[in-house]
Structure 1
Amino acid sequence: MIVSASYRTDIPAFHAAWFARRLEAGWVEVRNPYGGPPGRVSLKAEDVEGFIFWTRNARPFLPQLEQVAAREIPFVVQYTMTGHPSRLDGGTPPPDQALTVMEEIARTHGSDRVVWRYDPIVFSDQTPKSVHRETFARLADRVAGRALANEVVVSVLQPYKKAARRLDKLHDLAWCDPQVEEKQALLRDLADLAAERGLRLSLCAQPELLVPGVVEAACIDAARLSRIAGRPIAPKAKPHRPACACVQSRDIGAYDTCAHGCVYCYAVNGQERARRLVAEQDPKSPRLGP
């Protein structure tokens, strides 16, 4: 079983102490987001084939990565770094800080454990195509130049209703959802920029945007975990969405428990509620959230 921690929240940034206690206990309780009784997921080394950690700030989590490594459980850190304006990305650490932490993870555990995410791509008057090209190239130079990762995952903002409502309320930023051809044109440019720097560019679950040079992303990547572990890890394929190359995993996060404040976030219904739940989280609780 591969454990995802978590595409519902940023466990490394906000819940490191909680995760450390659950790792020591050997299990975690997970609320069913669709209702019904909670589930129980083992975190014992003999039961976990690998961890996928999703984060915008892994600095608080570095001791926990050491604990996972000490248990000889392979892991991958999906590290989001976009350089978007704070109006979009809220309290996300700036790229300089993210690069420093990515470098520490790569140096300590190996660069194959780090996947850079330039995700999501938001089209707006503050982030037009030209800005994305410039920002992506600048960040890719630093990622490749320091050998911090060999893959970058991208996606284009999908305007879910709650995200669109928040974006519409930004009086100092005008966003848009352009035609497919405009999105594809930018992705072709980013694919060229990535390839020039020796980075593989993959696209997360948007089949209509695939263009030459861009491949389907496998964020829950058994092949990468197998390389890291030095043994085959082959759970069955279980994509989350069409054109998703992920294999089966169990996610241990909870919605509304991330306080970064990204305006486009699909996993948070209200920023105030999220900040409150993060502040009130009991590190001794068997599960995240209320």
Structure 2
Amino acid sequence: MIINTGGRTDTVQYYTDWLLRRFSEGYVLTRNPLFPHKVSRYELTPDKVDCIVFCSKNYKPILPRLHEITDRFNTYFHYTITAYGKDIEPGVPSIEESIKTLIELSEQVERKRVAWRYDSVLLTKEYTIQRHLETFERMAQVIAPYIDRCIFSFVEMYKKLETNMPEILLFSQQDMDTLAEGFGAIAQKYGFPIQTCGTNGDFTRYGIHSSGCMTLDILGHANDIIFKDLKHKGMRQGCHCIESRDIGAYDTCMNGCKYCYANKNPRKAFENFKYHDPASPLLLGAIKPEDTIIEGVQKSFRKGN
């Protein structure tokens, strides 16, 4: 099975001690977001986990002890660095700090295990097409030698965004084409693959692949392992990723990104943090008498298993 640590929250940045403890103790509990009293238990051992996929906007807190996981497990790391400042991503380090940490991460785990995420791409009066292209190239020329690929997506206009970010501007097809053409040209100039993630649209004419950001091909190549030849159903519409299990929880990320889909509102995450206990097998709180714990299905995707 594939474990995902960063789809619901920035576990690496805010819950480092908890995350390391879970892998040390060899198991984790996660609540079902739709049925909170249903709790799944997953064994976090190398024989049960094919690969651990991380996603974060700040790996600095975990770098000194990351080897405790990478020494035992196959891994892959998504590092999100965008053009936005504190006005949109208040809890995220500056671009310069983030690039420095990405380089340190890459040197520790090897570039073949690091993907640069430039998403979500959105437009405001401040963050124009030109600003995106200029910032993307400024970052690309520095981090190109340290990444396996770049992944980007255009923001999805879901309902929460209208409330949390009223300043956002709608994309036209021409806007998306202009950005995609620019991103593709910059990636070619600096010699790294670029692909979309969860974006419905064909930008192959600009040298941009349409693929999942978490496929068995990517994870297998990064870790020199052979997976079964399986079709990826995806995690949602437009997604081509392999099935994974997220061990985080919604409404717990304190980055405060205005475009975030995982928090109802930025305040909720700070309110929930008081329920976090690094010693608990759950990210938030503890098991209650009315909870039902079930053993999560852990099937291997590795060839021969």
Fold equivalence (TM over 0.5):
yes
Residue 286 of structure 1 is matched in structure 2 by 281
Residue 151 of structure 1 is matched in structure 2 by 149
Residue 298 of structure 2 is matched in structure 1 by none
Residue 70 of structure 2 is matched in structure 1 by 69
Specify which structure has the higher proportion of helix. Answer: 1
Post-superposition offset of 1:160: 1.3
| Mapped partners of 2:279, 2:88: distance in 1 | 33
Match of 2:190 among 194, 197, 215: 197
Post-superposition offset of 1:223: 1.9
AA partner of residue 50 (structure 1) = C
Written as runs of structure 1 = structure 2, the 5 A alignment for 1:1-290 is: 1-35=1-35, 37-71=38-72, 73-144=73-144, 147-168=145-166, 174-208=167-201, 210-212=203-205, 213-234=207-228, 236=230, 237-290=232-285
AA partner of residue 201 (structure 1) = I
Q: Is the 8 A contact 2:197 2:212 kept in 1?
A: yes
Q: Is the 8 A contact 2:2 2:245 kept in 1?
A: yes
Post-superposition offset of 1:209: 5.1
Post-superposition offset of 1:242: 3.3
Post-superposition offset of 1:235: 7.6
Out of 159-168 and 274-283, give the one that drifted further.
274-283
Change (3 A) 1:64 1:278: farther
Post-superposition offset of 1:78: 0.4
Moved over 4 A (4+): none
Post-superposition offset of 1:217: 3.4
Post-superposition offset of 1:34: 1.3
Q: Deviations over 1:174-211 (max 9, x none)?
A: 32112223212211111111111112111111122534
Out of 151-160 and 229-238, give the one that drifted further.
229-238
| Mapped partners of 2:123, 2:2: distance in 1 | 34
| Mapped partners of 2:89, 2:128: distance in 1 | 16
| Mapped partners of 1:52, 1:252: distance in 2 | 11
AA partner of residue 43 (structure 2) = S
Post-superposition offset of 1:247: 1.1
| Mapped partners of 1:222, 1:64: distance in 2 | 26
Q: How does the TM-score come out when normalised to structure 2?
A: 0.88
Post-superposition offset of 1:162: 1.1
Q: How does the TM-score come out when normalised to structure 1?
A: 0.92
Change (3 A) 1:243 1:159: closer
Q: Is the 8 A contact 1:5 1:53 kept in 2?
A: yes
| Mapped partners of 1:166, 1:228: distance in 2 | 37
Q: Deviations over 1:127-148 (max 9, x none)?
A: 010000100010111111xx11
Q: Is the 8 A contact 2:204 2:210 kept in 1?
A: no
| Mapped partners of 1:3, 1:69: distance in 2 | 14
Post-superposition offset of 1:279: 4.4
Post-superposition offset of 1:26: 0.8
SS at match of 2:212: coil
| Mapped partners of 1:64, 1:279: distance in 2 | 24
AA partner of residue 171 (structure 2) = P
Unmatched segments (≥5 aa) in structure 2: 286-305
SS at match of 2:87: helix
| Mapped partners of 2:254, 2:275: distance in 1 | 12
SS at match of 1:116: strand
The percentage of aligned residue pairs carrying the same residue is 28
| Mapped partners of 1:223, 1:28: distance in 2 | 27
SS at match of 1:207: coil
| Mapped partners of 1:94, 1:221: distance in 2 | 30
SS at match of 2:279: coil
| Mapped partners of 2:202, 2:86: distance in 1 | 27
Residue 291 of structure 2 is matched in structure 1 by none
Give the RMSD, CA atoms, in angstroms.
Answer: 1.6
Q: How many corresponding residue pairs?
A: 282
